Structure 1
């Protein structure tokens, strides 16, 4: 995975284009509906690029990323990361051209969804609801809606039709139209300025295992023709949004089947949402990056050592999957998932860093996630702005003795220390540098044997899921 400096440099030039003219009303939609999801940095980047377009124009002048860095007061890494998020949420498309060693970009701005599309999207509206809460969500709905037009029974439509108002004078010769037909079209390499329709977020249909789904559906109950392209698109989105596997989706589809053996899309969405809220204590999903962002991945070459293999695994695995792998394929408990979700959302730690945290805590607390200990470590790492897996592992090595003191204080209830030297009985991850731990001699032979047995068991699990 390439680093940001391999993808973009300050001297690289760019132009801004618009996929259809952007309206002033789009600013309100971006500010109140998109900004809570993408953050102020992404919002600022979009607005700055938009400002480079002259009024009612589709193209900007050429510029460099160095100027963009100065305008935003941000480094190139943050700009690149913000660009990726804009691309992912459908507000930006990026095109690149390499010409004799010089690289240039086109940043094509796409308009946001209109309020009706957004609030009925089925994905973005769910994420926004979870992000800002019911009260503010309803306030935004009122802000972006107004009264319907009066009932047709109360008012009579007296509008005149075009042909009732205008008449057309037919030319005496068809040659007139033939001579002017080219004048009516846009000139070569030109296009008329207009507004293109914007589609909502669509997860690729190929990411969902429809073969397994069909194998579980009884043909007599759910015919194949019921899985129309539109239904498949909705299923793909719902599977991503609510983390639904094909076997769970099968039951939701059964409940959404109507009397005509067709799948009711609204019932399908409602069924998926109800299932998720039932499993997750009436909560809705939040919008997070599933794995460590590419810009913060450090193991970009083929792993050679055991530590590099582990780093690569932690960078390319979601925290949920990591918990499952540590449990030998068993589903983690709801309390464990809730602990990790709260840490990710409150402390804003990246998925790869969360994986290191999980690995470290589990090996130190006999494969248990203790909420207080996890939150204290996460808060410390967040203050130090841990971004990469390698940084988190190095910090854990450096602060190992401090963290051990935290666990000792927790066991003693924070009481005063005694003259008795503490015995270290906790496990440590295999990526620790044991030579730096001078207290190894404090182990009793019995503790060493017990620890080694546990450590070998954990290493076997790690080897299994690294494959």
Structure 2
């Protein structure tokens, strides 16, 4: 049987030990304060600083203490402590291990130093997280911060010797050294942060979208980590990644400008995020007094972004969001000419999938309807619902009127002449009797002549 994996659920009665794989210096703590704190938050930063000062470098299991004592010392509740530990784990500052015996669980919090400021800005994921946290202007300022600047060597030529030049190791000895070299568990700390995350990039999807693109997949192979970062930080689907790559090609070299791609990702995210914030702040000011009295359906329109609302609604309907629907929503939200509140977009999603019972959103009709609503200045979900009712009612009346006229015409065409007018019917019967009498007289005359 496989080894059972225990959940990371902290209990005040659990035991804990704080260890470290190396000494955490004051320089490390300064990097945490300057570069990491905007990402992980001041609470997680403070907890890291405290745990780093409590490290027992020669810890054994009998040194364990109750987690409740640590939480009380930090003057924090269990929920915030857990959230802070998760943030520190995600950024590689803490590795958490757990075991369980007859006395309950025991956790080891292994403190790791931060990467250097140079390596920090070489890591795309760290850069993306910091950029998202502080904004472009502050990010540029922080990127110039270096604890130990090495500009003094500029203009000089390095003549340092390498290992093969000095030690003259033979190939067999190098091979043996690599084979018997101990593999430390902490070696993965040297990896880029994105490589430690569980990010799945669908290469097959990207290749499919590149079939009709001027971007070549061969040019992207060396940027896989950057693409994963874009997917993780900005929530981009493979289709959106390809579209942003197409906007990031250097015209002169016809190659991907990866720095331009990062800027485009950030600007695209900012545009959507700004529109969502604008929508949420507008709703909070205009509906603050009446929100409790609103229709629950309208509250749902106001509570979610369009993609979230679409995913929830599709799940309720027992279906799923297609790639085309995702692209449609992205196009709408990112359209600079679309000035409708997002609650109106949600109202239209509901109208198509629930009221009209469409199985999927179709790009053409969806965008055309939004354009019509913007033209008629539909500025709230309630206005959208009233407008759709009015349009539906008007169309129903028009349809009924047309059906009535068509039915009259059809009836008139199908009915025989005798059924159209009673007077004509009577005349026809009379004429038939007269014709029959005349026919009988003619028959009698013919008999007499024989």
- Paired residue for 2:237? 245
TM-score (norm 2): 0.50
Q: Which runs of 5+ in 2 are unaligned?
A: 1-6, 168-179, 278-295, 315-324, 344-378, 393-450
The alignment of Structure 1 onto Structure 2 pairs a total of residues equal to 289
Tell me the alpha carbon deviations over residues 69-95 of structure 1, each in whole angstroms, 9 at most, x when there is no partner.
121011222211221222223322211
In structure 1, distance between residues paired with 2:265 and 2:162: 46
| Higher gyration radius (CA) | 2
In structure 1, distance between residues paired with 2:162 and 2:128: 42
- Paired residue for 1:355? none
Which of 208, 211, 216 is the matching residue for 1:218? 211
The yes-or-no answer on 1:367 pairing with 2:381 is: yes
In structure 2, distance between residues paired with 1:112 and 1:131: 18
Give 1:104 deviation, angstroms.
0.8
CA, structure 1 residues 83+323, in 2 after alignment: closer, same or farther (shift >3 Å)?
same
Which of 225, 229, 249 is the matching residue for 1:233? 225
Contact 1:15–1:63, Cα closer than 8 Å, also in 2: yes
Contact 2:89–2:95, Cα closer than 8 Å, also in 1: yes
Which of 50, 54, 63 is the matching residue for 2:52? 50
Tell me the alpha carbon deviations over residues 224-255 of structure 1, each in whole angstroms, 9 at most, x when there is no partner.
44442x52221121123233222222233334
Which of 5, 10, 23 is the matching residue for 2:12? 10
Q: Of the two structures, which has the highest relative contact order with CA contacts closer than 8 Å and spacing of 6 or more? A: 1
SS at match of 2:108: strand
Give 1:44 deviation, angstroms.
2.0
CA, structure 1 residues 69+30, in 2 after alignment: closer, same or farther (shift >3 Å)?
same
Tell me the alpha carbon deviations over residues 87-116 of structure 1, each in whole angstroms, 9 at most, x when there is no partner.
223322211112235211111222222212
CA, structure 1 residues 100+226, in 2 after alignment: closer, same or farther (shift >3 Å)?
farther
Contact 2:12–2:68, Cα closer than 8 Å, also in 1: yes
Contact 1:15–1:62, Cα closer than 8 Å, also in 2: yes
Tell me the alpha carbon deviations over residues 140-174 of structure 1, each in whole angstroms, 9 at most, x when there is no partner.
3444264612443xx6879899999x99xxxxxxx
The yes-or-no answer on 1:148 pairing with 2:140 is: no
Give 1:217 deviation, angstroms.
0.9
- Paired residue for 1:33? 35
- Paired residue for 2:111? 109
In structure 2, distance between residues paired with 1:72 and 1:123: 30
Q: Which runs of 5+ in 1 are unaligned?
A: 168-184, 285-309, 339-364, 370-425, 428-449, 454-467
The yes-or-no answer on 1:273 pairing with 2:275 is: no
Q: How does 1:22-421 map to 2 (within 5 A)?
A: 22-54=24-56, 57=57, 59=59, 61-100=63-102, 102-133=104-135, 136-144=138-146, 146=149, 148-152=151-155, 197=190, 199-202=192-195, 204=197, 206-218=199-211, 221-228=214-221, 230-256=222-248, 263-277=256-270, 319=305, 321-325=307-311, 330=329, 331=332, 336=341, 367=381
TM-score (norm 1): 0.49
Give 1:210 deviation, angstroms.
2.8
Tell me the alpha carbon deviations over residues 384-439 of structure 1, each in whole angstroms, 9 at most, x when there is no partner.
xxxxxxxxxxxxxxxxxxxxxxxxxxxxxxxxxxxxxxxxxx99xxxxxxxxxxxx
Contact 1:13–1:65, Cα closer than 8 Å, also in 2: yes
In structure 2, distance between residues paired with 1:62 and 1:252: 51
CA, structure 1 residues 190+220, in 2 after alignment: closer, same or farther (shift >3 Å)?
closer
SS at match of 1:17: strand
In structure 2, distance between residues paired with 1:87 and 1:147: 31
In structure 2, distance between residues paired with 1:33 and 1:200: 15
Contact 1:252–1:272, Cα closer than 8 Å, also in 2: yes
More helix, by proportion: 2
Give 1:58 deviation, angstroms.
7.0
SS at match of 1:7: coil
In structure 1, distance between residues paired with 2:208 and 2:162: 55
In structure 1, distance between residues paired with 2:272 and 2:186: 49
